[in-house]
Amino acid sequence: MVPTFIILFLYVFVSLGSHPTRAQTWVQAGYWFSGSEFPTSDINSTLFTHLICAFANLNSSSYELSISASDEQHFSAFTNTVKLKNPSVSTLLSIGGGSADPLVMASMASNSSHRKSFIDSTIKMARLYGFHGLDFSWVSADTGSDMTNMATLFEEWRTAIQLETRNASQSQLILTATVPYSMYSASSTYPIDSLRRNLDWLHVLAFDFHTPTGENFTRGHAVLYDPGSETNTDFGINSWIGGGLPANQLVLGLPFYGYAWTLVNPMDNTIGAPATGPAISSDGAMSYNNIRNYIQRYGADVVYNGTYVMNYCTFEATWIGFDDVEVVRMKVSYAREKKLLGYFVWQIPQDDNWVLSQAAAYANGDINQEKKRRLLLPILIPIVVVMVMILVGMLTYYLLKAKMRKRKRKTTIVQVAESSKHKANQKAAAGDFHNNDPNMMVYSLSDLEVATCGFSLENKLGEGGYGPVYKGVLANGQEIAIKKLSKTSTQGYEEFKNEVMLTATLQHVNLVRVLGFCIENEEQMLIYEYMPNKTLGYYLYDHIRRLMLDWRKRVEIIEGVTQGLLYLQEYSRLTVIHRDLKASNILLDKDMKPKISDFGMAKIFRKDEVEANTNRIVGTYGYVPPEYVRQGLYSTKSDVYGFGVLLLQIISGKKNSCSYGLHENLSLLDFAYELWREGKGMEFMDISLDDTTSSYKLLRCMHVALLCVQENANDRPTMLDVSSMLRNETKAMADPKRPAFSAKRNNDEESQSRLQVEICSVLRLMILRFRKSLLGESLGIFQHKNHINRPPM
Ligand SMILES: *[C@@H]1O[C@H](CO)[C@@H](O)[C@H](O)[C@H]1NC(C)=O
Ligand SMILES: *[C@@H]1O[C@H](CO)[C@@H](O)[C@H](O)[C@H]1NC(C)=O
Ligand SMILES: *[C@@H]1O[C@H](CO)[C@@H](O)[C@H](O)[C@H]1NC(C)=O
Ligand SMILES: *[C@@H]1O[C@H](CO)[C@@H](O)[C@H](O)[C@H]1NC(C)=O
Ligand SMILES: *[C@@H]1O[C@H](CO)[C@@H](O)[C@H](O)[C@H]1NC(C)=O
Ligand SMILES: *[C@@H]1O[C@H](CO)[C@@H](O)[C@H](O)[C@H]1NC(C)=O
């Protein structure tokens, strides 16, 4: 308790003293459209966290970005101008929009060389003009092939952005896109997986549901709810979340405009009244400031309708549906309640004296309170006063509680950093943790004991690289997996905390997530998310369970593992070599999505190191490449080799510890290679698999796998190559050379027979090395016998 308080105090002190406020977790974005001719210097930037400059266009022959001469002046000065009023505002350059040529957009996305020109030019332009990110608005995307191409485009875009960040001194560019209000609204569905993986967030265009040009009954064009139809914001948001996009990747659109309709009968002016078409303008569209002017000039009554959550006003035969202050508040409260990432407005210049922007920025976030406010305000002021007092009390209480919780969470990180005397650690902590918000929890031993019934045998899930793993259920019902580091471990307190921190920086949907840790009574434990569906090996090697993994599921697994490895090798700040990839280290979550686990053997490199040498060999027979066994050399290509073996197993359902072929004298790799050479690749496959309806083909996977397991590490593709080969983007693939390890071996993976000379002091060494590299000291530690011969953990 005492140290916690000291640390809390320290944290408060430190955060007051030197830390800027944390990165925004609530997005308040607004589009500025150059067509509005609203001066950028007049934008009230203080009301926004992100300002989006719209739109850049595509050159129809080169597919590079093009900005008209008149826009160029505004676009190039946009960031500097809006930052004058709010230095912490971030800016995005939006590309496309409603007037972009659908053919040019589709043609850009469909051809890999066009995509490359496009992507390169977007990054170049963003940097040139100082934008913090890019927003893609391809509103005409509709066909199935548009969606497939969009998925690829975002995949490549993110890759390019990540590569660029390595060179740039600035932080990584944000990448967002606009999407329709619902994932079902186009004639095909959006590529959710790619959107989720590659975009920071989506701008959901929750408006234009109904327009007076197309319908003959008055309707709200951006209603939150609609009892009579699925065309409403709530339905759309739920469809995205139901389709697999996390709520916190969605940013809700607020229209700062409405539509004017001409009523058939001025006396019948409800929602749903007969109308004959648009009023006031050719399509009826009217900015909020024009609507306010109109209301003032004609003294029109504004009605709020809580069933739909919309406003409308009528003057004679003109009926205008729009969002006024209370609707904006309700929608923002809705976004908070749904735990969305935030809201964006289209478009800023249409606001009237910042009224809507302020309503959005200051909405309190409780939709029920918002409803109550509307109901109670006109009734009795004393009741309101009492209620407000109660609410304020509650709010203060919750805010304080939330603040405490937040502090506690951060404390753990600061604790780790502060308690270290090493400058390097502090640097690592400051550099990696304050940015990353790893959400690490400190668990108490007693809670974990309760969660696992005293670490009972029934709750033991298995034995990992360096200690037993238990399943636990916390008091709040959350299921966790607890890895207990063996007591004989000589890994020190400092190293353990470092490990936790390093692991925490590795965050990816296809890596098992570390939730926190526990250090008490000489126990050191890591707490992971619990994976209910065991491991890939559990299914693959059982002739019944194997049937549960059809080709579609296996493709998802292959894709997931590929993404996990790409992250480890290419996209994370450090290069991580797992070194023990195998079917039993691929865990499956409740949706059978794969997550790579067990970083007990992992080795971390700085980005500029290519390979390293060790005297100690870790890993599992059959998955380790020859250069590693023979010379102790390993590089990212070692994991490519492991991936190749895994891929062969996934398509064949065969163990790599058995012998195959007529004379039962071939290893799995040789067997695959021989069949391939004889043109009989299909004989290798698991007969239950059917790839006819999939774009992933079994033979192509086999080809890729054989390239991955080639003897010479230089011949093996990189994971980036693998990823694009699997997706069938590289037309020509080399013929595979003979795989490594031609001699047969008799080892069973599941029996955990490892090549390792000692278990896992790698992590400790790795951490020492990491620390040294930060200190700029010699990096030779791995070759040093004294370290290598430390007692096993
Ligand atoms: C901009 O917004 C801030 C915050 O609501 C407000 O205090 C200020 O008056 C606004 N500025 C202008 C020029 O309206
Ligand atoms: C489009 O790009 C081509 C080739 O770079 C260039 O010649 C042409 O002028 C560009 N067109 C426009 C409208 O910028
Ligand atoms: C892509 O575009 C390039 C350049 O316009 C062209 O040479 C190539 O054939 C196109 N590729 C495909 C697959 O259409
Ligand atoms: C990174 O910088 C190097 C050297 O300045 C350059 O050759 C390389 O093309 C750059 N890479 C990217 C992705 O910009
Ligand atoms: C709406 O009513 C007008 C006038 O009666 C008519 O000309 C138009 O075709 C109608 N539009 C639709 C979509 O029904
Ligand atoms: C909203 O409008 C509809 C249609 O006119 C009506 O049936 C409903 O009662 C209204 N709801 C409220 C809360 O005013």
**641-672 pLDDT, tens digit each:** 999 999 999 999 988 778 888 888 888 899 99
Q: Is the pLDDT of residue 513 over 90?
A: no
Residue 386 pLDDT level (bands cut at 50, 70, 90): low
Average pLDDT on 562-566 reads 91
Measured from the alpha carbon of residue 160, the closest ligand is: 4
Other C-beta atoms lying within 10 Å of the C-beta of residue 401: 10
Q: What is d(CA 200, CA 133) in angstroms, rounded to the nearest whole number? A: 10
In this structure, of 87-96, 115-124, 713-722, the range with the lowest mean pLDDT score is 713-722
Residue 213 Cα, ligand 5 centroid: separation in angstroms? 8
Average pLDDT on 673-682 reads 92
Bigger pLDDT: 626 vs 57: 57
Q: Is the pLDDT of residue 305 over 90?
A: yes
Model pLDDT, residue 465: 53
Q: Is the pLDDT of residue 270 over 60?
A: yes
255 Cα distance to chain centroid = 27
At CA 42, angle to CA 252 and CA 58, rounded to 5? 60
Helix (H) or strand (E) holding 473: strand 467-473
Pocket test for ligand 1, best of 28, 42, 45, 46 (most atoms within 8 A of CB): 46
User: Are 303 and 336 a contacting pair, CB within 8 Å?
Assistant: no
Output the residue whose Cα is nearest ligand 4's atom 1.
167
At CA 171, angle to CA 168 and CA 177, rounded to 5? 110
Ligand 5 pocket residue status of 752, Cβ below 6 Å: no
In this structure, of 260-269, 566-575, 777-786, the range with the lowest mean pLDDT score is 777-786
In this structure, of 461-465, 518-522, 590-594, the range with the lowest mean pLDDT score is 461-465
Pocket test for ligand 1, best of 40, 82, 354, 357 (most atoms within 8 A of CB): 354
Ramachandran region, residue 55 (left: φ > 0; alpha: ψ -120 to 50; beta: rest): beta
Model pLDDT, residue 398: 65
Q: What is the CATH number of domain 447-529?
A: 3.30.200.20
Residue 283 known to be catalytic:
no
User: Are 472 and 479 a contacting pair, CB within 8 Å?
Assistant: yes
Q: Which atom of ligand 5 is nearest to the CA of 264?
A: 5
Of the CA atoms within 13 Å of residue 142, those in its CB half-sphere come to 5
Output the residue whose Cα is nearest ligand 4's atom 2.
167
Model pLDDT, residue 745: 38
Q: What is d(CA 744, CA 451) in angstroms, rounded to the nearest whole number? A: 45
Output the residue whose Cα is nearest ligand 5's atom 14.
216
Pocket test for ligand 2, best of 57, 61, 125 (most atoms within 8 A of CB): 61
Q: What is the mean pLDDT of the chain?
A: 79
Other C-beta atoms lying within 10 Å of the C-beta of residue 42: 11
Model pLDDT, residue 785: 24
Residue 158 Cα, ligand 2 centroid: separation in angstroms? 26
Ligand 2 pocket residue status of 68, Cβ below 6 Å: no
Encode pLDDT of 447-505 as tens digits: 899 999 888 888 888 776 567 888 999 888 888 988 887 665 555 565 566 666 666 67
Model pLDDT, residue 488: 54
User: Are 599 and 624 a contacting pair, CB within 8 Å?
Assistant: no
Model pLDDT, residue 663: 81
Encode pLDDT of 692-710 as tens digits: 888 889 999 999 999 999 9
Pocket test for ligand 5, best of 210, 213, 216 (most atoms within 8 A of CB): 216
In this structure, of 174-178, 265-269, 454-458, 572-576, the range with the lowest mean pLDDT score is 572-576
| Three-state DSSP state, 553 | helix
Model pLDDT, residue 55: 95
Q: Is the pLDDT of residue 92 over 90?
A: yes
Q: How is residue 135 annotated by DSSP?
A: E
Q: How far apart are the first and last CA of the chain?
A: 30
Task: Please identify which of the residues 193, 324, 351, 580 carries the catalytic annotation.
Answer: 580
Q: What is d(CA 463, CA 457) in angstroms, rounded to the nearest whole number? A: 12
What architecture is domain 536-742? Orthogonal Bundle (1.10)
Model pLDDT, residue 401: 63
Ligand 5 pocket residue status of 446, Cβ below 6 Å: no
**Which tokens belong to 5?**
């308080």
Q: What is d(CA 233, CA 237) in angstroms, rounded to the nearest whole number? A: 6
Residue 220 Cα, ligand 6 centroid: separation in angstroms? 12
Q: What is d(CA 543, CA 653) in angstroms, rounded to the nearest whole number? A: 9
Write out residues with Cβ below 6 Å of ligand 4: 163-164, 167
Ligand 3 pocket residue status of 114, Cβ below 6 Å: yes
Q: Is the pLDDT of residue 49 over 60?
A: yes
Ligand 5 pocket residue status of 80, Cβ below 6 Å: no
Ligand 5 pocket residue status of 265, Cβ below 6 Å: no
Q: Residues with Cβ < 8 Å from 698, sequence gap 6 or more?
A: 551, 651, 681, 682, 685, 689, 691
Secondary structure tally for the chain: helices H, strands E: 25, 27
User: Are 624 and 581 a contacting pair, CB within 8 Å?
Assistant: no
Model pLDDT, residue 571: 79
317-350 in b/e form (b: 16+ CB < 10 A) is bbbbbbbbbbbbbbbbbbbbebebbbbbbbbbbb
Q: Which residue is listed with tokens 């549960």? A: 548
- Domain 24-256+325-362: give its CATH superfamily: Glycosidases (3.20.20.80)
Average pLDDT on 435-455 reads 76
Q: Is the pLDDT of residue 618 over 60?
A: no
Model pLDDT, residue 9: 33
Ramachandran region, residue 747 (left: φ > 0; alpha: ψ -120 to 50; beta: rest): beta
Encode pLDDT of 316-375 as tens digits: 999 999 999 999 999 999 999 999 999 999 999 999 999 999 999 998 766 666 666 665
Q: What is d(CA 181, CA 220) in angstroms, rounded to the nearest whole number? A: 15
Percent of residues, the chain, with pLDDT higher than 70 = 73
Ligand 2 pocket residue status of 66, Cβ below 6 Å: yes
3-state secondary structure 590-650: CCCCEEECCHHHCEEECCCCCEEECCCCCCECCCCCHHHHHHCEEEHHHHHHHHHHHHHHH
Q: What is d(CA 289, CA 296) in angstroms, rounded to the nearest whole number? A: 11
Alpha-helical segments (H) within 692-740? 698-708, 719-726
Q: Is the pLDDT of residue 428 over 50?
A: no
Model pLDDT, residue 542: 83
Residue type, 669: L
Model pLDDT, residue 494: 57
Residue 387 pLDDT level (bands cut at 50, 70, 90): low
Measured from the alpha carbon of residue 162, the closest ligand is: 4
Residue 64 Cα, ligand 2 centroid: separation in angstroms? 9
Integer angstrom CA distances of residue 533 from 404, 513, 544, 586: 35, 15, 15, 10
User: Are 194 and 247 a contacting pair, CB within 8 Å?
Assistant: no
Residue 44 Cα, ligand 1 centroid: separation in angstroms? 6
Measured from the alpha carbon of residue 216, the closest ligand is: 5
Ligand 1 pocket residue status of 46, Cβ below 6 Å: yes
Q: Residues with Cβ < 8 Å from 172, sequence gap 6 or more?
A: 161, 162, 165
Q: What is d(CA 304, CA 33) in angstroms, rounded to the nearest whole number? A: 29
| Three-state DSSP state, 278 | strand
**Which tokens belong to 343?**
């809201």
Q: Is the pLDDT of residue 17 over 50?
A: no
User: Are 743 and 667 a contacting pair, CB within 8 Å?
Assistant: yes
Give the residues across from 467 on adjacent strands: 464
Percent of residues, the chain, with pLDDT higher than 90 = 47
Residue type, 654: K
785: buried, middle or exposed (CB in 10 Å: 19+, 13-18, 0-12)?
exposed
Model pLDDT, residue 427: 29
Measured from the alpha carbon of residue 112, the closest ligand is: 3
Ligand 3 pocket residue status of 111, Cβ below 6 Å: yes
Q: Is the pLDDT of residue 221 over 50?
A: yes
Residue 130 pLDDT level (bands cut at 50, 70, 90): very high
Average pLDDT on 514-532 reads 82
Considering only CA atoms, give the Rg of the chain. Answer: 29
According to the per-residue pLDDT averaged within each range, which of 10-14, 566-570, 642-646, 764-768 is highest? Answer: 642-646
